[in-house]
Amino acid sequence: MELFTSRGFDATTVDEIAEAAGVSQRTVFRYFPTKRSILLEYDRTLSEKLRALLRGRPPRELTLRALEPTLIAFAEILQEDREKVALRMAIMGSSAELATYTLEALQTHRAVIAGELARHHPAATDESDRLVLTWVANGVLVVALSEWLDEDLRQHLPALTLRSIERVRAAATR
């Protein structure tokens, strides 16, 4: 992360990463098939935390209100890692190669949420209900994270997440 920050993601080579880690390039590639996958490893960890939250607090119904405690708990996890989250977002924002990164992360979170909603609500009559709730949940997180990263990381992300939920509700009733 230090190399990505100081040199930029695009300019950092795998040879430099290997040298900084004190390993061979081959060893780097044994654990990370691409330079990009080094950054994506954190997202896999976050996705697993989100999955665990959804399994531990399955929503009683397919509503934003039922999913709210899980979104707040996920925001608390991100709040605890705020420096790491901010650093990674800065690295990604400065890289042409990583321009699609945010979309990939959203797609990963969408798959986790949709999978868990299907697992907990297999008899839902309309797959579209799960799809809508999945993207609403992603939208809530994107808005809260955007405000958090753009304004001030000292703000409380769970509170911003609640505010984002309220905005979604207000927009849906207009």
Question: Would you write out the chain's pLDDT as a tens digit for each of its 174 residues?
Answer: 889 989 889 999 999 999 999 999 999 999 999 988 888 888 888 999 999 999 998 888 889 999 999 999 999 999 999 888 888 888 888 888 787 877 888 888 889 998 998 888 887 666 788 888 999 999 999 899 888 887 766 789 999 999 999 999 998 888
Give the predicted TM-score (pTM) of the model: 0.85
E strands, 54-119, in order: none
Distance CA 10, CA 149 (A): 22
Sign of CA dihedral 70, 68, 128, 107: negative
86-124 confidence digits (pLDDT tens):
888 888 888 887 878 778 888 888 899 989 988 888 876
What is the predicted pLDDT for the residue at 152?
A: 67
Q: Which domains does the chain have, with CATH numbers?
A: 35-173 (1.10.357.10)
Q: Half-sphere exposure (CA, 13 Å, Cβ side) for 91?
A: 24
Sign of CA dihedral 165, 118, 121, 127: positive
Are 151 and 127 in contact by the 8 Å Cβ rule? The answer is no
| Residue matched to tokens 């390039």 | 25
What is the predicted pLDDT for the residue at 102?
A: 77
